[in-house]
Amino acid sequence: MGNSIVLAQIIGPMALVLALHVLFYKKYLLKMVDDLMHGGVLHFLAGFFALLIGMLIITFHNVWVSDWPVIITLIGWLSFLKGAVFMLASDVLQGILKYVKKATMYFTIAGVIWLLVGVYLIYVGFFA
């Protein structure tokens, strides 16, 4: 449970800040989507770091339980999959990015989800 608490203390505040950015700075997110659509270094680095963070979480916290630590495991696997798509399936990524750019309501949905995850992980990491 020690790794779960530490990871909750790290991921929780990061998720909260990410959520606030997504909810209040959509203009900048759309610019990042444009940058990602053009490939290049940003595309590679985003995939590389998502893959790296996902692998670190999976390696040190691959915990499949019916309790809150599974949230951290799921974040690790989703990060790994995101990195793999960025690095190995550029055509699929381009289609997703075009769709996301048109449907900005998904930014709000993602922001609210990250807000809830962040607040919950902060609670279990620092106060529970």
pLDDT digits (tens, 9 = 90+) for 53-69: 999 999 999 999 999 99
Q: Which domain holds residue 117?
A: 2-127
Instruction: Please give the pLDDT value at position 111.
Output: 95
Low-confidence ranges of the chain (pLDDT < 50): none
Instruction: Please give the pLDDT value at position 73.
Output: 98
Q: From 18, 73, 80, select the one nearest 48 (Cα to Cα).
A: 80
- Rounded to two decimals, the pTM is 0.91
Q: What total number of domains does the chain contain?
A: 1
- Phi, psi (rounded to 5 degrees) for 64: -110, 90
Tell me if 69 sits within 8 A of 1, measured CB to CB.
yes
Which H/E stretch holds residue 2? Answer: helix 2-24
Instruction: Please give the pLDDT value at position 12.
Output: 98
- Phi, psi (rounded to 5 degrees) for 68: -60, -30
Give the span between the Cα atoms of 22 and 38, in whole angstroms. Answer: 21
Q: Which residues contact 85 (CB under 8 A, 6 or more apart)?
A: 47, 92, 93, 96
Q: Which residues contact 43 (CB under 8 A, 6 or more apart)?
A: 36, 86, 90, 93
Q: From 118, 106, 84, 82, select the one nearest 30 (Cα to Cα).
A: 106
